[in-house]
Chains A and B, each alone.
Chain A
Amino acid sequence: MSARENILQRIRAANGRTGAPGASEREAALSRLREHPRGPLPSMNWELLPRFRERCIAMMSSVADVATLAEVPRAVANYLTGNKLPLSGVCWPEFANLDWAGAGLQIVARAANGNDKVGITGTYCALAENGTLMLLSGQDTHAATSLLPDNHIAIVPASRIVRAMEDGWDLLRSEHGRLPRQVNFVSGPSRTADIEMTLVMGAHGPFRVHVVIVL
């Protein structure tokens, strides 16, 4: 017998069953998957936008607001110059047509490699509960761009801020039906406390995450 059969049989025995689960038992177990009930949530007596901003800052991201998408390059330029950071980098293809050059930036629409210092991405949606970006992998939504550069800048439309992870999953189910290769929830810059329990930013991923909210 295969390892798979042996393991399943041992599980069956350990759970006090004699044969493989019947159709009705299987059905009872799987109904949870179809209904995917939500567990108890903590109280969420807050407004989406202020909470998202506040939690982004708590997770050590920085935040800026702009009124329209066209204003994003100027806001990004302000952030980069204000923090004495490099003015060139890469962005997701959906932002290729923004006037980066007009804001004094050199931004190329391609996936980041190890040399790029600034990576500009969008987000699938954002979670207000903890100041989290929900990023989906895909042809035009390169994961490397939010991971390899020292600085990650995320463009977040205010209309895409939802309450909690459960809302993110519901949105994904209704808009896509199935999961992409990878879903990444990003909450602030990469960090570690592996040496003497002392928190340090910039472990392997970005040192800084800047969130630009398009109101």
Chain B
Amino acid sequence: MQINSQQFKRAASQKLADPKVQKALKNAKGKLVVARAKSILELDNYEEMRDEAARIRDYSLLNLEVLLEEWEKNAKAAGTIVHWAETPQDVNRLVIEIAQKHEVRKIIKSKSMLGEETNLNHVLEAAGLDVRETDLGEYIIQQLGETPSHIIAPAVHKSMDDIADLFTEKHKRPRLTDIAALTHEAREILRPHFLDADMGITGANFLVAETGSTMIVTNEGNGRMTTTMPRVHVAIAGIEKILATLEDVALMLRLLTRSATGQSISNYLSFTTGPKRPGDTEGPGEFHVIIVDAGRTGILGSEVREALRCIRCGACMNHCPVYQNIGGHAYGWVYPGPIGSILTPAYVGIENALDLPNAATLCNQCGVVCPVKIPLAELMRKLREKQVERQLRPWAERLGLKLWGWAANRPAVYGWLTKIAARAGSLLGGKTGMLHRLPAVGREWTGGRDLPAPHGRTFRELHARKTRPMSEKR
């Protein structure tokens, strides 16, 4: 996917001023946050499960090499054809090769964020293949030629009216104004494609080393269709998706679906182990799995390693006060919200997403709700440090900090400068005691709000006055 993270500030301002986006975000926030909170209450040992989930993810990352090799051995024993891809381009090339080998014309696809990373749909379409997203949200996004704004609710930024207009145009049917009717129209339109597609593409929520399986979590049933109806199935999975056992998956699922949508369980959990077996009348004749690095090993060896624990529930964005106000598109790449503010610089280069780790108050709501205890705020702070170390911050900010550092190391100078500033600020604040416009870097602060003006005396002055009589008594 194209990287637009450098335009974060401008995009965020646009989204803040867009009443449609604001309405959709408000609606989603109310529903997802409440649903999660309610469903977590069903687990009387939630914190214990969360501790164990974090531990299991760390174990999986520490033993990644052994677990992937074991997964591969078991997958091959079940007849799965295993490929390895180092880059996004390798993923796309491998999928096209498989499609060409099987003379594929039509592909049905179940939602995959990794596919968004590699820009898979566009590359397949450019190769002359007919690709159809089948998750309702992804289908809407694909028809609009947009990108998902949320990792589990891709079309959350669209209203029913937007979708009614879209379907009227694309489906050439009378305009519907009811959400259920629109959903069922998409079902009718997509059903024939499920039945005659040549190839199915899915992602993977987890890879299970013990059995060599891939597994996906869905609600709509499109994942089951995609893995069963076409004659070839290709699953793409990042290396970090590995878990050791079926029991580990069971634990993760209790946390994943509750954290994501507030469901105790998703409607369909599908574990796939190899292609059609002898005697089976359904299922694909060939099952390919592409194991993908595409930047993950870089994160594994970096200061944001814990980000690889992520199981893609989306709770961090649902609970983020920044995401709640600007939505996913402002972040400019595949993953929005707090996890996106860490993964985007890690995948596309820290210099290509400078604003993202800074677009946070570090309130740590994300860290509190993360089911695998990723210290999201801490990781964002580490990325900020790295920006400073690598001198990637704007020159004005660097100069400002340098000057501040020089003064702060000289108490007399510092005291004198702050005295002037406190008095000047008090004068400028006037009757309201507010500063409406600051010069230079201060402009960004007063662009959206006032700054309370100082009252004329510095803390050191006030402190000295208060403590003087005490010291004199002594």
Contact = CB atoms under 8 A, between A and B. Distances in A.
Interface of A: 2-4, 6-8, 10-15, 17, 20-21, 25-26, 29-30, 32-33, 36-43, 55, 58-59, 111, 114, 129-130, 132, 137-139, 142-144, 147, 164-166, 169, 178-198, 200, 202-206
Given A8-B68, A144-B228, A181-B277, 20 more contacts: A7-B84, A26-B66, A33-B209, A58-B264, A59-B267, A138-B280, A147-B228, A169-B250, A182-B272, A184-B270, A187-B265, A190-B267, A191-B219, A197-B153, A197-B156, A200-B179, A204-B190, A205-B220, A205-B224, A205-B267
B446 interface: no
Given A10-B293, A185-B268, A204-B134, A29 B66 contact: yes
A179 B273 contact: yes
Contacts of B261: 193
B155 A194 contact: yes
Contact of B268 (A166, A184, A193): A184
Interface in B253-267: 253-254, 261, 264-267
Nearest to A15: B62
Contact of B250 (A7, A137, A164): A164
B14 interface: no
A36 B250 CA distance: 11
B426 to A, nearest CB: 49
A182 B273 contact: yes
B19 interface: no
Given A11-B297, A40-B52, A197 B190 contact: no
B439 interface: no
A116 B195 CA distance: 13
Contact of A197 (B32, B64, B275): B32
Given A39-B250, A137-B282, A197 B224 contact: no
B44 to A, nearest CB: 5
A137 B158 CA distance: 37
A184 B156 contact: no
Given A15-B64, A144-B228, A195-B179, A189 B267 contact: yes
29 contacts: A3-B85, A3-B90, A7-B86, A11-B239, A12-B65, A13-B301, A15-B301, A20-B65, A30-B70, A38-B247, A40-B48, A114-B195, A130-B265, A132-B265, A142-B281, A166-B247, A181-B272, A182-B227, A183-B270, A183-B273, A184-B269, A184-B270, A185-B270, A187-B266, A190-B220, A194-B153, A196-B27, A205-B224, A205-B225
A194 B56 CA distance: 31
| 3 closest Cβ pairs, A-B complex | A205-B221, A14-B301, A203-B220
A166 to B, nearest CB: 5
A41 B49 CA distance: 8
A4 B210 CA distance: 20
Contacts of B298: 10, 14
Contacts of A14: 297-298, 300-301, 305
Contacts of B85: 3
Contact of B222 (A36, A183, A204, A206): A204
Contacts of A36: 210, 244-247
B291 A7 contact: yes
B321 interface: no
B276 interface: yes
Contacts of B187: 202-204
A192 B66 contact: no
Most buried by B among A37, A59, A192, A200: A192
Contacts of A38: 247, 250
B279 interface: yes
A185 B269 contact: yes
Contacts of B44: 42-43
Contact of B63 (A13, A29, A114, A138): A29
A129 B43 CA distance: 11
Interface residues on B, range: 35 or more
B211 interface: yes
Nearest to A60: B267
A144 B24 CA distance: 36
A180 B293 CA distance: 28
Contact of A15 (B49, B65, B213, B227): B65
Nearest to A167: B250
B141 to A, nearest CB: 10
B433 interface: no
A11 B64 contact: yes
Given A147-B225, A184-B224, A190-B220, A21 B65 contact: yes
Nearest to B181: A200
B385 to A, nearest CB: 20
B267 A179 contact: no
Nearest to B252: A39
Contacts of A40: 45, 48-49, 52, 251
B173 to A, nearest CB: 16
Given A36-B245, A205-B268, A8 B220 contact: no
Most buried by B among A143, A166, A189, A193: A193
Interface in B277-295: 277, 279-283, 291, 293
B271 A7 contact: no
A136 B48 CA distance: 31
Interface string B386-428: 0000000000000000000000000000000000000000000
B443 to A, nearest CB: 38
Interface string B54-78: 0010010111111111100000001
A39 B253 CA distance: 12
A198 B283 contact: no
